[in-house]
Structure 1
């Protein structure tokens, strides 16, 4: 969910509400608040230490009057509470994964003009290690990480921490996230009722529903389609991933080859069959013929205007759907969520990734590498269990209350929960109205929001009810975990040399041929030609490199 957390999905509704429904920001620890004695001490250990970094000024961060990136309540709180003074070497507009930040960071790495610590991509971590520009953090982490931090960072079984470890050395601290973020299918339940259709249990059921929605036009618009897709295949909502998974096909993953190695998912026979299914749907008029030139928001206009009633999306999808589903204090569109239907008798698995794609690294020149670990300790403690009102400064700024400024983006080091028991707790709590069941900060926040909808106090909180309530999105996660229906990418290393050189052109060719197949511009057999070309243009070399990595990291 890290792409989601960065609010690359500019959901105005969510941001105006001051929440992060599509964010790992509010993911929970899956455990009760620790005792006060377990809180890390706010000791300065001999005085204030200074550490430099570089920042991106997210467009959703709004400063209080008189404050800026160099002087603000959050930085002041870190200096006061843990004795770490943060200095910005430079600040650019945008996001960390945006072009301005990445270009400036690239130049800083090239000229060896890096700050004491900064966020890096997997490729940059590899580059920095090879250039001998960053420190081994193994002993620093062992000495300075609190017991809570060490437990927190292992919640996924240690895979994300392992991804920052090279030759037994901890070279990078992952900005952790919860990998268990499923794709689900969302269907207009009011239309099912109107057309007397059963809920989807199989892919054929869903196909029948989509065809009925397109041909019978229950929205009364005069032109309807069966499913919402957009031009970005891996988009969190309105993307292709959930549909592909229903065919046991996975996008951009390295999967078991059955012989102890890995093979690339995009070129497997299951992918061809999924594309065949999409092509058939396009021929029947179930897919918007202009989807290939529309982004998520543009395609969503068809959903909001009652022309489409089926889409695939992540658990936060209702926060997006609310733009059309809630009008003038009334819910005007009924939606239900279901686990991915399968094309055959084998249940569909939903693909997931490692859960992080950003790492904190420390320059070889830094005098106080322990400052990074102290910042990490404080963030984990504060984000998961604020114990005093004053600690709200890290989330809301000096006013200590929500005002839509997104002050939490000022925190220079963040780690998000690697697991969650929201699916076990929240649906039951909301159904029974039992405020005693939610234990974590996130669960309490979500419970309160959903109950405002349940009690008729705030109908706009419909989206939270559809995420966290009975039969909501998160209610499906325990079943998926219990039945091992999360399909994780088995490659989590830095990009291999041939990946760096060839991946962009290979992905471009893939997207081009996939679109042509879906839109019935070429035969489905063009997929086989694509596979041959992919192998010759570098795919075989990438596969060899990936398997060399896998042999060392199984």
Structure 2
């Protein structure tokens, strides 16, 4: 049996109970305009604090005046008396259309930094091959004042002694919003700490709620067959077989990577593709556990009975989706964003009455189903130890969040609109820390407004989404483009409903691998996964018996899996 919870899960659940009511979250494909308006907090209130450690105080003294008054208090929003220059590097955002005379080096963001903080931001280079160029610069032993890095680059820079310890500066200069984000996703925040030193500020992501998966079921068939929503995996099998008998289809959508079937694996307590702890606390790969073996045995039986397409081993996701659109199947394990990826085309082709609706992954064991949650954080903000004004980086970070917040909408709406117009905000990716509750808050607000009919408290952009869903509800066949919003928060039983339940009950399990990947997996991870996929596929289609699972796992261990386990233990124990 797998260990069902860990300390990070318990911590997140405690925070969820405090911070979440009706929660939900949009997938990463949610429109930029909505993402930009969901952050809220106490941005530019005059936040002050006492001076920090001797190291930090000396840096502040060297930086002329970072906003320290005669009482020794620091105003984190104050401008410098003399101009401070910060250097950085950036990706080439060639898709951005700048106003005449502006470019990535000179635009409203850089001008606002100068006007508001007296900070001159200079790009040492801009490249469409960012990581390659940055890796070369790291190899040369010199980086700009601050830089956006991935986990591997952060580790290299930390081990080379090239980074500034941000711990004291963070305590003093990070805004309340930024600190609340880091507290919410403390595991990602702590991944930037090496030997007690804060070398990287995690840029975070949209929250664990984005990762929930569902089993989507065609509603007109479910109703015509007089069937209820599945409570157990046996119920799901009954629905699939009933659809097969009545409509001449196969039962459940699957494709050659086994990804769709793997979305159902938590129903057996399995978490393929994820590193977990067993009951003894040992780190194991989720694709090699007895729980996953049980799931494969069930799927082999499904295939034998015709519940899975006989052609699934040749079908990619696009082809599997085509079978849904052409009414060859009525059950589809899929991600939260079915409405955007499949739903719009589906409603256009088949009409609203045939729409699929989401349901929680049912249990095959009688135990609560825990969703698989992976590290959403991919990058960090790092500051060179040679930076003369490291605290200035926090001013940019704090300001970026302020512009995302409802406070800027209320106080400086025009500036906010102009700074986020035409994806201009993307140019500041090296100063961005994402609000991990952003989508949860946004979708909860819209969902509650739709359920109550009271949209009076919605922001302008939320109101647009609300009106789109209302238009879909009134005439769905005329507005298939709003299927995604409807599936997210348009009815009781939408993904928002289920996500709220998962979060409130703490029904999720986090990947032990959080941010830093063992070297063996960087080099050979794809090969190792191929060994498992090829072997497991043989089991599902009946070419090998279920006990062949043990042979496959031994092959995986011999090819590097055993070494991967060892390196995981070294990294995360």
TM-score by length of 2: 0.79
**Is the 1:226–1:309 Cα contact (8 Å) retained in structure 2?**
yes
Q: Which moved more, 1:38-47 or 1:472-481?
A: 38-47
Aligned to 2:177: 148
Q: Does 1:432 align with 2:452?
A: yes
Tell me: higher relative CO, structure 1 or 2? Use CA pairs within 8 A at least 6 residues apart: 2
**Is the 2:266–2:372 Cα contact (8 Å) retained in structure 1?**
yes
Counterparts of residues 15-54 of structure 1 (less than 5 Å) = 25=35, 28=38, 34=42, 37=45, 43-54=78-89
From the superposition, tell whether residues 337 and 305 of structure 1 become closer, same or farther in structure 2 (CA, over 3 Å): same
Aligned to 2:106: 71
Give the drift of 1:447. 3.4
Give the drift of 1:525. 2.5
SS in 2 for 1:89: strand
Q: Which moved more, 1:314-323 or 1:163-172?
A: 314-323
Q: Does 1:472 align with 2:491?
A: no
Q: Does 1:182 align with 2:201?
A: no
**Quick one: distance in 1 between partners of 2:96 and 2:318?**
22
Q: Which moved more, 1:77-86 or 1:266-275?
A: 77-86
Counterparts of residues 193-342 of structure 1 (less than 5 Å) = 193-217=223-247, 224-232=249-257, 239-292=260-313, 294-327=315-348, 331=352, 333-342=354-363
SS in 1 for 2:183: coil
From the superposition, tell whether residues 108 and 199 of structure 1 become closer, same or farther in structure 2 (CA, over 3 Å): same
From the superposition, tell whether residues 60 and 274 of structure 1 become closer, same or farther in structure 2 (CA, over 3 Å): farther
From the superposition, tell whether residues 301 and 260 of structure 1 become closer, same or farther in structure 2 (CA, over 3 Å): closer
Aligned to 1:415: 433
Aligned to 2:159: 130
Give the drift of 1:64. 5.2
**Is the 1:175–1:356 Cα contact (8 Å) retained in structure 2?**
yes
SS in 2 for 1:54: strand
Q: Does 1:166 align with 2:194?
A: yes
From the superposition, tell whether residues 466 and 62 of structure 1 become closer, same or farther in structure 2 (CA, over 3 Å): farther
**Is the 2:43–2:176 Cα contact (8 Å) retained in structure 1?**
no
Q: Which moved more, 1:354-363 or 1:518-527?
A: 518-527
**CA-atom RMSD in angstroms:** 3.4
Q: Which moved more, 1:359-368 or 1:329-338?
A: 329-338
Give the drift of 1:421. 4.8
Q: Does 1:396 align with 2:400?
A: no
SS in 2 for 1:153: helix
**Quick one: distance in 1 between partners of 2:131 and 2:290?**
37
2:131 to 98, 102, 117: 102
**Quick one: distance in 2 between partners of 1:499 and 1:213?**
42
**Is the 1:446–1:468 Cα contact (8 Å) retained in structure 2?**
no
From the superposition, tell whether residues 516 and 73 of structure 1 become closer, same or farther in structure 2 (CA, over 3 Å): farther
**Higher helix residue share:** 2
Aligned to 1:451: 470
**Quick one: distance in 1 between partners of 2:300 and 2:37?**
37
Aligned to 1:485: 507
From the superposition, tell whether residues 104 and 425 of structure 1 become closer, same or farther in structure 2 (CA, over 3 Å): same
SS in 1 for 2:45: helix
**Is the 2:43–2:175 Cα contact (8 Å) retained in structure 1?**
no
**Quick one: distance in 1 between partners of 2:471 and 2:76?**
37
Give the drift of 1:342. 0.9
Q: Deviations over 1:121-166 (max 9, x none)?
A: 222222221222222211222232122221232123x222111111
